[in-house]
């Protein structure tokens, strides 16, 4: 972990990462209810909102669409990822080098680590290379820290999420993105287990405005330094409204109730 408060992906010590790697991770099914969002430009437009500190995409999307948005959006290049078509033990292919991410204009790189998978050892070794290459380019490293695998039945248990944040600190991530462990005390412990490394909450599948914002509020109060979110923003009819509210909850530390008032 290095200090990253001066990085473009951080604002006032916090980050709001808009993720759109779902076409790879889940397939086009995630865009079924919002078919216009199949066009990546529409999500890049959403990422121009002031609240968004960077957008996380895979290499192909960055190559094709980022040149039109590089003045308005900071880029987090997700360097590994795997489709839902893969049915084996949890693993993730490294699809992009850090050198190429930097060439594409990345402000940070992202890497999924499935701690607990039978492939954990290989993934940790791949992370070592990514982390050290990122240091050469002065790029922050965001770990999607998702303990998963044959031996792990519940991937949001408090002790699993604390282990996930700690893995990020131990292996040299600058931010670890983890699932919400279900209650504020567990989130607080997970943030403490990360030491000075930043922890951000992972968005998850779409819920109501209030349910989503109150979970974000409770994560931020517990010490999370922001959010990495996809579906709960761009699957909404009006992403601007929820981003306005997220800006108030994350950066202005308002309550979910206050943020939803017009």
Q: Which residues bind ligand FBP (CB under 6 A)?
A: 19, 21-22, 25, 144, 202-204, 228-232
**At which residue do the structure tokens 């050290």 appear?**
132
Residue nearer to ligand FBP on the CB measure, 5 or 38: 38
**At which residue do the structure tokens 């790189």 appear?**
109
Question: Given 14, 37, 59, 177, which residue is catalytic?
Answer: 177
Q: How far is CA 222 from CA 135, 198, 202, 211, 218, in A?
A: 29, 12, 14, 17, 6
Strand partners, 57: 77
Q: Long-range contacts: 82-85, Cβ < 8 Å, 24+?
A: 82/24, 82/25, 83/24, 83/25, 83/27, 84/25, 84/26, 84/27, 85/27
Select the residue whose beta carbon is closest to ligand FBP and give its number.
203
Whole-number minimum distance, CB 34 to ligand FBP, in Å? 12
Whole-number minimum distance, CB 262 to ligand FBP, in Å? 25
Q: How far is CA 247 from CA 15, 116, 146, in A?
A: 10, 34, 25
Nearest to 83 by CA among 29, 134, 133: 29
Residue nearer to ligand FBP on the CB measure, 104 or 135: 104
Whole-number minimum distance, CB 258 to ligand FBP, in Å? 23
Question: Given 114, 146, 163, 180, which residue is catalytic?
Answer: 146
Tell me whether residue 157 is one of the annotated catalytic residues: no
Residue nearer to ligand FBP on the CB measure, 80 or 131: 80
Tell me whether residue 78 is one of the annotated catalytic residues: no
Residue nearer to ligand FBP on the CB measure, 76 or 194: 76
Whole-number minimum distance, CB 21 to ligand FBP, in Å? 5
Residues carrying an active site annotation: 146, 177
């Amino acid at each position: 972990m290095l200090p990253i408060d001066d990085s473009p992906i951080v604002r006032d010590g916090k980050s709001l990462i808009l993720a759109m790697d779902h076409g790879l991770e889940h397939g086009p099914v995630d865009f079924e209810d919002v078919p216009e969002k199949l066009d990546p430009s529409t999500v890049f437009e959403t990422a121009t909102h002031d609240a968004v500190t960077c957008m996380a995409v895979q290499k192909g999307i960055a190559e094709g669409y980022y040149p039109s948005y590089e003045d308005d959006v900071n880029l987090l290049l997700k360097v590994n990822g795997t489709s839902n078509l893969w049915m084996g033990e949890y693993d993730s292919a490294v699809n992009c080098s850090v050198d190429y991410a930097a060439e594409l204009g990345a402000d940070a790189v992202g890497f999924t680590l499935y701690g607990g998978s039978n492939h954990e050892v290989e993934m940790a070794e791949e992370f070592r290379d990514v982390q050290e290459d990122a240091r050469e380019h002065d790029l922050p490293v965001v770990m999607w820290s998702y303990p998963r695998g044959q031996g792990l039945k519940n991937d949001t248990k408090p002790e699993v999420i604390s282990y996930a944040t700690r893995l990020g600190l131990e292996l040299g991530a600058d931010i670890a993105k983890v699932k919400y462990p279900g209650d504020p005390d567990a989130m607080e412990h997970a943030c403490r287990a990360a030491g000075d490394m930043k922890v951000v909450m992972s968005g998850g599948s779409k819920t109501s405005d209030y349910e989503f914002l109150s979970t974000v509020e409770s994560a931020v109060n517990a010490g999370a330094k922001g959010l990495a979110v996809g579906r709960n923003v761009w699957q909404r009819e009006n992403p601007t409204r929820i981003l306005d509210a997220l800006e108030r909850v994350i950066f202005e530390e308002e309550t979910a109730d206050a943020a939803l008032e017009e």
